[in-house]
Structure 1
């Protein structure tokens, strides 16, 4: 993805690229919640944000920083990576002299990106980030991530399928924006077809 197609201001692009490198150093390994997930969410946010008319700089910063505390949560060092991620983002952006009202907008989007916990996203940018994070759990990449996570945690195929049914298949109906709802339809259909196919194969269908 060419950033200049979305962000025309050179200073804004430099800030976003600097933030990308800052965010990257929080991730020492790949996995279901590695930096590749952050990059995909960022790309989704840029495309969706342009279509929805969002503030793309705020959205870009929030997308890049939304999971910086995920490794800390995985290690049991923090309870909620969204809350801690917002704190890290505030400190980082403040150190750059970024305007306070825009820091607040970035931090809110990060705090509100988890569908399973509050707060509810209040701004368009927060809604798009939440939607993009959910979209990365649906479709072909969502299937791959579920089984990556299962491999990381010793979860078998049946447990993985229960995760699809208990969480992943619910996501289509939790989107905030029209753009995300449209994207989710196709990804959801792929996921349903995959589950139906793998269950048939598990039953020995030729």
Structure 2
């Protein structure tokens, strides 16, 4: 791994004091997904990997201040990249991908391949088994329970499959979407009174 990426990874790790649904482990999974998708789609990894590492760096700041994390994250990324003399011609692509990655509230549409891949990778990490685990973590962090998590799965996660930008991501999303449906079906059975008959 490029020494600059290793240093970048450690810098970003320092921004996450606590674990959680959007903790540093999420950032690492998104980075790994970006490596897979980026290789398949022919992306510029010098843009994609830094964008993946910095995409959620300002989540803790957003929770404290309300400043959208994609905006503050792009600012932090720009300052860091400047401090290490990262190639200036790559910075605009990195910042665009960070600004455009957010599923719901971002007003920036992913226009580059790298931005589309980061958006896809971020959404993929909200699907499948990991997505379910993160959803229940987030519900607990917010004082909610199973019904809140199920509502989030129905309102957001089940819509993600049809919002992928790349063919590589669509293939992964189809499998993870099927798992979400199977999980919800099983959960409904186990939460129902009929599941206790004969016990």
* TM, length-normalised to structure 1: 0.92
Partner of 1:52: 41
- Choose which of 134, 137, 141 in structure 1 pairs with 2:123: 134
Residue 195 of structure 1 and its aligned partner are, at CA, apart by 0.7
Partner of 2:151: 162
Question: Is contact 1:78–1:84 with CA below 8 Å preserved after alignment?
Answer: no
Q: Does 2:101 match 1:113? A: yes
- Structure 2 SS opposite 1:195: helix
Partner of 1:38: 27
Question: Is contact 2:46–2:90 with CA below 8 Å preserved after alignment?
Answer: no
- Residues 9-57 of structure 1 deviation map (CA, whole Å, 9 limit, x = unaligned): xxxx011111001100000010101000000000000011001000012
Question: Is contact 2:58–2:69 with CA below 8 Å preserved after alignment?
Answer: yes
Q: Structure 2, unaligned stretches of length 5 or more?
A: none
Question: Is contact 1:45–1:132 with CA below 8 Å preserved after alignment?
Answer: yes
C-alpha RMSD over aligned residues: 0.9
- Choose which of 168, 171, 176 in structure 2 pairs with 1:179: 168
Residue 66 of structure 1 and its aligned partner are, at CA, apart by 0.7
Partner of 2:52: 63
Residue 104 of structure 1 and its aligned partner are, at CA, apart by 0.8
Deviation >6 Å, runs of 4+: none
CA distance in 1, matches of 2:165, 2:107: 14
Residue 115 of structure 1 and its aligned partner are, at CA, apart by 1.5
- Choose which of 80, 85, 89 in structure 2 pairs with 1:97: 85
CA distance in 2, matches of 1:42, 1:145: 17
Q: Structure 1, unaligned stretches of length 5 or more?
A: 4-12
* TM, length-normalised to structure 2: 0.95
CA distance in 1, matches of 2:169, 2:31: 14
